[in-house]
Structure 1
Amino acid sequence: MELQWPLILFTTFVAWSAGLFGAQGAAALAGEGRRAQMPALIGSAALLAVGGVAVFFHLEHFERIFNGFGNPTSGITQELVCVVVVGALMVVAFVVLRRAAGGDGAPALPKWLAALMIAAAALLVLVTGHSYMMAARPAWDSPLGPLTLLGAACAAGPLTFAVIEAARGEAAGRATALFSLVGSIANLAASVAYLAFMEMASASYTDVGYYYDPTHPTAGMVDVSALSPFAGESVAMVAVAVVAAAVPVVAALVGRKTGNWKVWGAAGALCAVAGAVALRMAFYSAGASVYLFY
């Protein structure tokens, strides 16, 4: 399947935005990273805006996007609802932080709001990933798809928040450091598991026969072997996805040990994002529909 770059960028930036937004909430629950809250909020809003702009380039007639919102069961409607909820919470957080800034200069978010931020961020990522689950594309029809996006969010978000903390002159809190490590490990595990699933799913195409050109009835129009993520050009994507998902684990470990989050946090966050992009590239390469074979 042809790579859909607007959707790749949309899902990646939404995951990054949600991960940073959720990391803010986790830090607020732990009473950490007060100086980083406002810059992180602005950063997560900017990332969400970039993802929102990217998705419009997927549409030939973007002005008709609202026609799809009439069906509440459609993925695009559910994504919009979640984006609106997260956007509303961002506004609330901004107002709270601005009002509290007149005190000691290090405003804190209330715990109830922090908990809602974490829940809304996770829901946004999972709903975004769920939109791509469909039985017609065996390589996509797995909960591992949404979980890989959640893993990317849990790796890139806390690492980015640690960088912002360091830039604001704060030491990364224990919660941020722990979430960076746990999130990075979860992201690596989910990425490897999903690649293994896509490889196993490629066997599904051999059970439905071959769709052929009537003028060449003995030649299949699709090379089944090329649908494996470990075949052809997809091999490079897989290698980048795995290596880039492993780097944040190392970065989180070294960051916790040295405290140099400006370098290691940035390296880990960027690699987590690069790994998410590479994994989505493999995702599209393996995402042929079984209807091609009937």
Structure 2
Amino acid sequence: MEIQWPLALFTLLTSMGGCLFLFVGINEFTRKSSVSGFVPAIVALVLAVVGGLCSVAHLAHVDRMLNALSHPTSGIFVEAVLIGLLAVAVIVYLVCVKREIAGGIKASAVCGMVFGVALSFMAGHSYIMAAIDTWNTMLLPTGYLLTALPMGSSLYWALAGREEAASKFMGVCTLVCGVLGFLGAAAYAAVAGAFSGESMMLAVGALVLAGVVPAVIGALGTKTASPALPWVAFVCAVIGALCYRVMMWVVFTTPFNFFGVM
């Protein structure tokens, strides 16, 4: 199947924003960084909104978007609701930070964390369908979420992890997220048969760039404080996550294959 770039970018950017806010919320409870979560939260909001616009671009016409949103059981409807809920939570968080409302900060952070993780997972879950053999597995959305985590951890590290304690903590987080990203990409690639043919380079790219590299850089970050490390991890994580999202289109198996039709 032809690669649907608007959808690939939609899932990439919204997941990036959701997982970035996940670590904004984590810091509100761990207080490893004294840097305000205001700027990272704004970045997360922008990523979620821009990602949502990419989804609209895929449908090409406004009326198609409205028709899709009129069906509450559709994947597009669920994704749109989650983007809206995430955006509201982030906006409330920003207001509470500005007004120094401690209770509101933590409550909105928790809500945003939940919606961000849910959005990252559901962005992949919408593709599950019995008619497409290589998509009909829960490992697909699981990989979506797990390959998004290194993007969120490394971006938050780059934006708010300048202090030594925060840098080491985010190094550990990025190490763990890199391992999870590797496992998520490897599991789906193995089940979908992506380690052969045209998809092999994409599968390897997802494993290495969304898994191995962030994990290694995260480990280095626990010992060496360098402002360049999180940015390198972030760029690699983004490319690796994109490889994963493109890979699913390359391994696409049509229903005709079950009837021996060429």
Structure 1 length-normalised TM: 0.81
Paired position in structure 2 for 1:257: 223
How many Å apart are 1:109 and its aligned residue? 6.7
How many Å apart are 1:108 and its aligned residue? 9.3
User: Once superposed, which parts of structure 1, at least 4 consecutive aligned residues long, lie more than 6 Å away?
Assistant: none
Paired position in structure 1 for 2:245: 280
TM-aligned CA distance change 1:153 to 1:241, over 3 Å:
closer
How many Å apart are 1:112 and its aligned residue? 2.8
Deviations 1:88-145 (A, max 9, x none): 10110110111129xxxxx897333322222111111122111011111111111111
Paired position in structure 1 for 2:200: 235
Q: Secondary structure at the match of 1:233?
A: helix
Separation in structure 2 between the aligned mates of residue 290 and residue 57 of structure 1, nearest angstrom: 27
Paired position in structure 2 for 1:2: 2
Once superposed, what is the RMSD of the aligned Cα atoms? 2.1
Q: Does 1:119 align with 2:114?
A: yes
How is 1:1-294 mapped onto 2 (pairs within 5 angstroms)? 1-100=1-100, 110-166=105-161, 171-172=165-166, 175-199=169-193, 229-245=194-210, 246-260=212-226, 262-294=227-259
Separation in structure 2 between the aligned mates of residue 153 and residue 138 of structure 1, nearest angstrom: 24
Separation in structure 2 between the aligned mates of residue 116 and residue 126 of structure 1, nearest angstrom: 16
Larger Rg: 1
- Identify unmatched segments of 5+ residues in structure 1: 102-106, 200-228
Separation in structure 2 between the aligned mates of residue 196 and residue 40 of structure 1, nearest angstrom: 35
Separation in structure 2 between the aligned mates of residue 234 and residue 93 of structure 1, nearest angstrom: 41
8 Å contact kept, 1:162–1:265: yes
TM-aligned CA distance change 1:159 to 1:279, over 3 Å:
same
Separation in structure 1 between the aligned mates of residue 28 and residue 170 of structure 2, nearest angstrom: 10
How many Å apart are 1:193 and its aligned residue? 0.9
Q: Which has the higher helix share?
A: 2
8 Å contact kept, 1:29–1:114: no
- Identify unmatched segments of 5+ residues in structure 2: none
TM-aligned CA distance change 1:77 to 1:3, over 3 Å:
same
8 Å contact kept, 1:152–1:187: yes
Q: Secondary structure at the match of 2:184?
A: helix
TM-aligned CA distance change 1:163 to 1:283, over 3 Å:
same
Paired residue total: 258
TM-aligned CA distance change 1:20 to 1:108, over 3 Å:
farther
How many Å apart are 1:288 and its aligned residue? 2.0
